[in-house]
Amino acid sequence: MATRVPHLINGAWRHDAGSAPFPVTDPTSNQPLWEVASASADEINQAVASAKQAFQAWREVPVPERARLMLRYQHLLKQHHDELGALVAQETGKTIADAKGDVWRGIEVAEQAANVAALMMGETVENVARGVDTHSWVQPLGVCVGITPFNFPAMIPLWMFPMALACGNAFILKPSEQDPMTAVRLGELLLEAGAPKDILQIVHGRKEQVDQLITHPDVKAVSFVGSVPVGQHIYRTATDHMKRAQCFAGAKNHMVIMPDANPQQVVSQLVGASVGAAGQRCMAISVAVFVGNAREMIPALRDELAKVVPGHHSNAAAAYGPLISPQAKARVLKLIEAGKQEAECLLDGSDCMVPGYPDGNWVGPTLFRGVTAEMTIYKEEIFGPVLCCVEVESLDEALQLVNANPYGNGTSIFTRSGAAARKYQHEVEVGQVGINIPIPVPLPFFSFTGWKGSFYGDLHAYGKQGVRFYTETKTVTSRWPEDEIVETNMTISLK
């Protein structure tokens, strides 16, 4: 019998879930890895009730103690980095290097959470009026919920719960049903680090479980990372129920290549940024915008992409792994077919096979040229190893294209001109900008700052998914009449 992925409710790992289990499959073979069952309505209610109670005690735990838990957790995560990387590779099919990168980016956030005291500092102004002082405190919210996608099963849960917990909240994680075991291992390590048993709850499921969580009267805030339609549903539903909601959704990231850019650098960086992780990154470059003569780099780009070979994570030479599911592969193949009707296909990865893994969800590197903003392959987030080349005549035209796009997660410009780089970083309407860096993800002491349809809600916070999202600011204005001071004589005896 397949291993059942447990829920973590009220400090106990539970296997007795209500509904029929469904399989979690290995994307390199589509063979079952384990099975998972959605939490019942009763189990969700228990998780929320337990988290609510845990919050009352946890919020009173001194900040340095909460920070120390994060230090121990960060240490344990590092000790288990290889093991966690192997688990991520098993569930997602990512290469080991990619899977370990996923874990490492999460460890960095746990590290940042250990600095929580400094991040939670309030503000003070003395004498806001004569004899009147004001100070503000930063206080936790209560029960916070996180809904996470399949593509970074370690990093994205770790974006959320370490910071939320360090701030003094209780947290309920609903990880992706496509790779839920990584979250379970993250939870086990948190308990091993000495966390109170009930400040983190993990429940599995899909829409029904998510909807129950985001409408529950005792839930205060919802962080979501995932696709566009689900993000919109979650944002609308959660805010309708007066929750604080923060949504990271889809993306279409452009890299602008100026004619003066270093061609070798452009080609090698663009290959990794577009098809690395099979294009299943919200910061992947999916559109290359060649300005003027920069278009002469396209043949070399095609030749380099043609050399990229996906494979199983046990093969150290594999450049990337499979798509997460047969459904994801079918969707990407359909978009490639649409692209072939619309644009010039320079490289077609539709028939990709990996020896020894005939049933994996493989798609080879795919390159289109002559793509315009009206085409389906430009408008849709493909989320596969597919790169679209657009050709424009000027930097202004490139900026117009990028700024008209409904998403604004990441972008980059490759150029040797300081003036072009300055103009691009200043005028582009995208949250994370790279100059000669293709995937400009900031470290956790900066905000993750997607714009437009890629990141919305409450709040473009300070520090990744930051402290400001998981806390409430309270303003206290105080007056202390001087004539009420009682003088006391104290004798201090020294031995």
Of the pair 348, 381, the CB lying nearest ligand NAD is at: 381
282 is catalytic: yes
Residue 291 β-bridge partners: 392
Stretch that binds ligand NAD, among 50-58, 143-151, 420-428, 465-473 (CB under 6 A): 143-151
Residue 226 near ligand NAD by CB under 6 A:
yes
What is the C-alpha separation between 148 and 162, in angstroms, rounded?
Answer: 14
DSSP state of 189: H
Binding residues for ligand NAD, how many (CB under 6 A)?
28
Segment 265-304, which members bind ligand NAD (CB under 6 A)?
A: 282
**Closest to 188 measured CA to CA, from 80, 90, 271, 268:** 80
Residue 212 near ligand NAD by CB under 6 A:
no
State both tokens at 449.
């700052």
3-class secondary-structure state, position 308: coil
Q: Which of 162, 187, 250, 463 binds ligand NAD (CB under 6 A)?
A: 250
Of the pair 122, 440, the CB lying nearest ligand NAD is at: 440
Stretch that binds ligand NAD, among 223-231, 261-269, 415-423, 481-489 (CB under 6 A): 223-231
Q: In angstroms, what is the minimal distance from the CB of 64 to ligand NAD?
A: 31
Segment 368-397, which members bind ligand NAD (CB under 6 A)?
A: 381, 383
Residue 450 near ligand NAD by CB under 6 A:
yes
Residue 416 near ligand NAD by CB under 6 A:
no
Segment 181-200, which members bind ligand NAD (CB under 6 A)?
A: none
Q: In angstroms, what is the minimal distance from the CB of 17 to ligand NAD?
A: 15
Q: Which of 36, 154, 195, 230 binds ligand NAD (CB under 6 A)?
A: 230
- Residue-level length of the chain: 495
Residue 170 near ligand NAD by CB under 6 A:
no
Roughly what angle, to the nearest 10 degrees, separates helices 298-306 and 263-275? 50
- Torsion (CA) 375, 377, 381, 387 in degrees, nearest 10: -130
Of the pair 119, 147, the CB lying nearest ligand NAD is at: 147
Stretch that binds ligand NAD, among 125-133, 147-155, 183-191, 427-435 (CB under 6 A): 147-155
Of the pair 182, 409, the CB lying nearest ligand NAD is at: 409
Q: In angstroms, what is the minimal distance from the CB of 407 to ligand NAD?
A: 9
Q: In angstroms, what is the minimal distance from the CB of 246 to ligand NAD?
A: 11
Residue 227 near ligand NAD by CB under 6 A:
yes
Residue 148 near ligand NAD by CB under 6 A:
yes
State both tokens at 326.
């047969």
Q: Are 152 and 102 in contact (CB under 8 A)?
A: yes
What is the C-alpha separation between 206 and 260, in angstroms, rounded?
Answer: 48
**Closest to 465 measured CA to CA, from 302, 286, 245:** 245
Whose structure tokens read 């001194």? 62
What is the C-alpha separation between 348 and 251, in angstroms, rounded?
Answer: 22
Residue 466 identity (one-letter amino acid): G
- CA distances to 92, 485, 487 from 491, rounded to whole Å, are 69, 19, 13
**Closest to 114 measured CA to CA, from 70, 48, 149:** 70
Q: In angstroms, what is the minimal distance from the CB of 481 to ligand NAD?
A: 52
Which residues have a Cβ under 8 Å from the Cβ of 260 and sit 6 or more positions away? 415, 416, 417, 420
Q: Which of 55, 58, 150, 161 binds ligand NAD (CB under 6 A)?
A: 150
> Would you put residue 415 in left (φ > 0), alpha (ψ -120 to 50) or beta?
beta
**Closest to 116 measured CA to CA, from 77, 156, 172, 58:** 58
Catalytic residue, chosen from 167, 282, 352, 389, is 282
Q: Which of 210, 291, 298, 387 binds ligand NAD (CB under 6 A)?
A: 210
Residue 158 near ligand NAD by CB under 6 A:
no
Of the pair 140, 385, the CB lying nearest ligand NAD is at: 385
Q: Are 473 and 137 in contact (CB under 8 A)?
A: yes
**Closest to 325 measured CA to CA, from 20, 3, 32, 1:** 32
Stretch that binds ligand NAD, among 21-29, 172-180, 264-272, 477-485 (CB under 6 A): 172-180
**Cα angle 298-259-365, degrees, rounded to a multiple of 5:** 25
Of the pair 150, 424, the CB lying nearest ligand NAD is at: 150
Of the pair 298, 441, the CB lying nearest ligand NAD is at: 441
Summarize as ranges the residues that interact with ligand NAD (CB under 6 A): 147-152, 174, 176-177, 206-207, 210, 225-227, 230, 233, 248-251, 282, 381, 383, 409, 450, 454-455
Residues involved in catalysis? 282
